[in-house]
Amino acid sequence: MKRHSVQTCEGSEKGAVVGYLRVSTDGQEDGNGLDVQRQHIVAYAAVQGIQIDQWFQDVESGAKEDRPGLAALREAVRAGKVGRVLDYRMDRLAREALLAEQLYRKLSPKARVVSVSESLGEGFTGDLMRRILAAFADYERAVIATRTKTGRRESVRKNGTFAGGHGVLGYRPEGQRGNPGKGTLRLIEQEAEAIRLIFAMRDQGTTLQKIAGELNAQGFRTKAGVEFSHVQVLRVLNREAFYRGQGVITRSVEGAALGAHSAIIT
């Protein structure tokens, strides 16, 4: 399946009926995949006696506004080429309530937006139902995010092992990718040398800029393979507990529990 696609049919014209499809990940299997959404929209169109002229789709999080398929749809609506937008549910436009309302308001002045599986009604009643559903979708997204974060923290606490996320300077993730709590962090000595130098110079009162300059002069590089800046130096210093072998959790690192990875500084 292509990650993003815009498919058109011959004969599309101003006032066309279009369908919008979205899933968060490739192979989404929550019962609302792209094929399922398409089937519901096609069935609705058949009952209404209308023909779908164009399809837009995204494989992106509903929390993001900058989706290629959505951008193409908005441009078509802005150009006056679309008369009606059909989607499976309103949360396909967005899972975040404020974003969903903003997108609806940007589309609705020039095109009628229809959720084929939700009876929203018209006028004030329709507006109220749309906002209630958007709020529920927003709540559901927040609950899922919290459960995921809690699960990863619990995995670290119970197993004392790498629970996923990107690698961090000084270590290389190993083990069972995609199996939270079963991975390990292997120390990379060359990167560890840079970390020891950072803490040693900081203990001497050296500024972040000068530390970065010394690292670059000695040929050390960041995890991304670029020269150090004061920002990267500060990031290392902020992870002191992690480099002492203690478990910490940041946006980019799901750390190991105490003793589960080798300490770099003592």
Which CATH number fits the domain that encloses residue 57?
3.40.50.1390
Helix boundaries (H) for the chain? 34-48, 68-78, 97-107, 123-159, 189-203, 208-217, 230-238, 240-243
Residue 164 and residue 123 share a domain: no
DSSP per residue over 166-226, as a string?
Answer: ---TTEEEEE-TTSTT-EEEEE-HHHHHHHHHHHHHHHTT--HHHHHHHHHHTT---TTSS
Query: Digits of tens for pLDDT over the chain (266 positions)?
Result: 444 443 333 333 458 999 999 988 755 545 578 899 999 999 999 999 999 999 999 988 867 778 899 999 999 998 889 999 998 888 888 776 667 777 777 888 788 888 888 766 566 666 677 677 777 777 776 777 777 666 666 655 555 555 555 568 898 877 655 554 456 778 899 999 999 999 999 999 999 999 999 999 999 999 888 999 999 999 999 888 888 887 654 444 444 444 567 889 98
Residue 193 and residue 106 share a domain: no
Residue 136 and residue 176 share a domain: no
Residue 130 and residue 69 share a domain: yes
Tokens representing residue 233 in the block = 């130096």
Cα→Cα distances 54→8, 77, 192, 255, Å:
5, 12, 55, 46
The answer to whether residue 266 sits within a structural domain is no
The pLDDT value given to residue 21: 93
pTM value?
A: 0.48
Tokens representing residue 3 in the block = 């990650």
**Contact indicator for 62, 141 with CB cutoff of 8 Å:** yes
The pLDDT value given to residue 122: 64
Closest alpha carbon to 92 in 72, 118, 124, 127 = 118
Residue 126 and residue 180 share a domain: no
Residue 169 and residue 120 share a domain: no
Question: What is the domain range of residue 237?
Answer: 160-243
Domain count across the chain: 2
Residue 87 CA to residue 85 CA, distance in Å, equals 7
**Sole residue written with tokens 């002045």:** 109
Residue 200 and residue 118 share a domain: no
The pLDDT value given to residue 254: 46
**Contact indicator for 39, 22 with CB cutoff of 8 Å:** no
The answer to whether residue 263 sits within a structural domain is no
Residue 92 CA to residue 151 CA, distance in Å, equals 26
φ/ψ bin of 80: left (φ > 0), alpha (ψ from -120 to 50), beta (otherwise): left
φ/ψ bin of 170: left (φ > 0), alpha (ψ from -120 to 50), beta (otherwise): left
